[in-house]
A and B are shown apart, each in its own frame.
Chain A
């Protein structure tokens, strides 16, 4: 919770800096003494992990930019030069490429955590909305970044996604031409995507600052979803959560390193090791895995403009969640009915991702996957617009514990199962 600062500078240097720029005070209040609920679990470590991911992407990205050439004639070869000739270039490139996947893995876990524990509910609505903005910026950054190596998938993915804008009536074509800087994806497009790819992460960093600032007003939510009532409910962020976050961060980095060093092309597509060719379309155009669910939604609608609207709607829907959920109980631990729908939603997202990776004519057990995607899309929207409002009203939640401290420290009956 934000309150008056308890910072008391000890050394002369600290006093000198703090009286001129209260940065030491800020560090102390937000990362050292900040009262944090004592029952935060594993799922709460991903905010810190995400900050780490952003830092890694920015550092490796800036280094890559020292060697990368953003002209269509040279882009692909400049990446190969990084992989072969630049000292440790292969390492930096693989960290950056796999880092993007790890970044999205962490962000999806982070978002699902927020959905499950009701972290979007009052008074944290704005944190959630700022989070959706960060997610959007991440998707744009990743999309621009994937175009830069100028492989077949880079070029054709850019073509497909930018063509979506031409679906807008009247001005669509003009917008697409303006985005391309030419009559089709080409040199002009590549150069500006590089410029934007370099810019957006810094905007993300700024918005992340707002995200954490907004969080520090009410303080963290917690797995029980009940408010902090007394100081016994909390512990200082340091050393309790610094050490816990550090430990889980290292586990995350172990997973990250396993991909970078032993399966660096696992998340990638072989077609992107072929230089872009505007005259040859790859048999399957697929985005990176983290965009697959939205790609599945787009393709499941036969009408071009409606497909774009549905896909955009899926992301815009997220903004309204704080008001769509009518339950007065935050955490799904105490919401037996909502919990089922939540897990079904998680499964539906995975199914959508699977459909997005398959070809449009694909079938499973004789059922065209495009119909599976349609039903899954229906559930996606129903989950937010129907299930969240209705279940909140009709559900009988379980009894909430009296306080966090009592639930964690007290010798009463075991906390209700997850």
Chain B
């Protein structure tokens, strides 16, 4: 009886620290992607975090597809739209191949990786380089080198139309 009483008193005091209803409501974002050119990335804000929306060129898609999944430091897709054990093939990282939607938070210690462009290459894999500790991601946002343990997360998202996505 005593234990139940204590737990009943303790739980509200603990649960109050979890995200409030307002925070949860701000959990969905609708994003207009019409203005993004091939080879370009725009950073949006989703749940307070950077959201990378990158429109990939055919070359970037091809180089991502050419990678052997077994050689990757993190072989899992990390895609909230797919089961946990889905492998990190290029197909499992996107909904439409041309569009890469990622949470722009380095899986090492939370910094925002810098996108690689032909004018300003970042890292050896054409994707992103995180300047905090040197993690390098490829054109599918998968970790290839450096201390980050996981591929960049793919959030829950879907296409409302060709030019609009809903995230979260």
Contact = CB atoms under 8 A, between A and B. Distances in A.
Interface in B135-168: 147, 149
17 contacts: A159-B109, A159-B110, A163-B110, A178-B17, A179-B17, A182-B23, A183-B23, A183-B48, A184-B105, A188-B19, A278-B45, A278-B48, A279-B43, A279-B45, A284-B132, A303-B149, A360-B134
A182 B19 CA distance: 5
- In the A-B complex, the 4 residue pairs with the closest CB atoms: A183-B47, A163-B110, A281-B111, A184-B48
A184 B133 contact: no
Contacts of A280: 112
A283 B108 contact: no
Interface in A157-200: 159-160, 163-164, 177-186, 188, 192
Nearest to B113: A281
B134 A183 contact: no
Given A160-B111, A278-B50, 6 more contacts: A181-B23, A183-B27, A186-B48, A278-B48, A281-B111, A299-B133
A192 B18 CA distance: 12
B96 interface: no
A164 B109 CA distance: 7
B29 to A, nearest CB: 11
A294 to B, nearest CB: 14
A261 B86 CA distance: 60
Interface residues of B, number: 25
B1 to A, nearest CB: 28
B20 interface: yes
Interface of B: 14, 17-20, 23, 27, 43, 45, 47-50, 105, 108-112, 131-134, 147, 149
A152 to B, nearest CB: 12
Interface string A313-336: 000000000000000000000000
Contact of A177 (B18, B50, B108, B110): B18
A12 interface: no
B154 to A, nearest CB: 15
A156 interface: yes
B110 A160 contact: yes
Contacts of A177: 18-19
A334 B96 CA distance: 74
B119 to A, nearest CB: 20
Nearest to B133: A360
A304 B43 CA distance: 26
B18 A285 contact: no
A283 B131 contact: yes
A302 B147 contact: yes
A283 B48 CA distance: 20
A156 B18 contact: no
A418 interface: no
B131 A281 contact: yes
Nearest to A279: B50
B111 A285 contact: yes
Interface in A327-363: 360-361
A303 B147 CA distance: 7
A360 B111 CA distance: 14
A281 B147 CA distance: 17
Nearest to B130: A281
A163 B109 contact: yes
Contacts of A160: 109-111
A278 B19 contact: no
B125 to A, nearest CB: 17
A156 to B, nearest CB: 7
Nearest to B43: A279
Nearest to B18: A178
Nearest to A305: B149
A279 B133 contact: no
Contact of B19 (A181, A281, A285): A181
Contacts of A281: 111-112, 131-132
A370 to B, nearest CB: 9
Contacts of A156: 110-111
Contacts of A178: 14, 17-18
B3 to A, nearest CB: 21
B104 to A, nearest CB: 8
Contacts of B134: 360-361
A188 to B, nearest CB: 7
Which of B48, B108, B112, B133 counts the most chain A CB atoms within 10 A?
B48
Contacts of B147: 302-304
A188 B19 CA distance: 8
Contacts of A361: 134
B86 to A, nearest CB: 18
Contacts of B105: 184
B112 A181 contact: no
Contacts of B109: 159-160, 163-164, 285, 304
A164 B108 CA distance: 9
Contacts of A278: 45, 48-50
Contacts of A360: 132-134
A183 B112 contact: no
- Scoring A280, A281, A285, A360 by chain B CB atoms within 10 A of each residue's CB, the highest score goes to A281
Contacts of A180: 19
Interface string A107-127: 000000000000000000000
